[in-house]
Amino acid sequence: MKKEVIYVTHNKGKIASAQEKLKDVELKIYEYELEEPRSDDIKYISKYKVMEAYKLVNKPCISLDCGFWIDELDGFPRAFVNFSLDTIGIDGILKLMENKPNRSCRFTECLSYYDGKELHQFMGKHEGKLTETPLGNSTEKTWSDLWYIFKPDGYDKTLAQMTDEERLNRIPYNSVDAMDEFAKWCKEN
């Protein structure tokens, strides 16, 4: 029997990704925008959000929070991705990176699972490089505008340029996916 898990989010891209990756889980979607606390710690944010989600649905649930670190900018925007995208956008981020030689960056993510008694957290990290200009197309599976300027290590395309199949089946150079880690844990428990 599959474990029933409720994913509380309003992000269509995250929902689509979870539906593709969590095949061994009976995944239910509860569309709701959870409050996000001001913090630079994605583990704390994810925990806070899953606890809020559990209060809404009173069933085992997950929450995923992501951060984006740019080495040349001392890690900016870190866990403040949404605020940065709402204020300066990807064009502003690229403007800050003009003439900067080090284009290294990474997505970090924390998926929290809470069943009412125990909290389990699964970390992910995806290394890459920033492009000079936005590249790619928008789909219902796009999580973030950062997909237009992020090229995963080992690839010459942004996430927004990749097909769904390329994104799902890419060889994870320096990469760990939090949803994949959660899916493995669900199979074992």
Examine residue 77 and say whether the peptide bond preceding it is cis (omega within 30 degrees of 0). yes
Among the listed residues 6, 20, 24, the one whose alpha carbon sits nearest the alpha carbon of residue 189: 24
Q: What is the CATH number of the domain that holds 134?
A: 3.90.950.10
| Full residue range of the structural domain in which residue 104 is found | 3-188
Task: Please say whether the beta carbons of 34 and 28 come within 8 A.
Answer: no
pLDDT in tens, 12-69: 888 888 888 888 889 999 988 888 898 999 999 999 999 999 999 999 999 999 999 9
pLDDT in tens, 97-121: 999 999 999 999 999 999 999 999 9
Instruction: Count how many domains the chain has.
Output: 1
Q: Please give the model's pTM, rounded to 2 decimal places.
A: 0.90
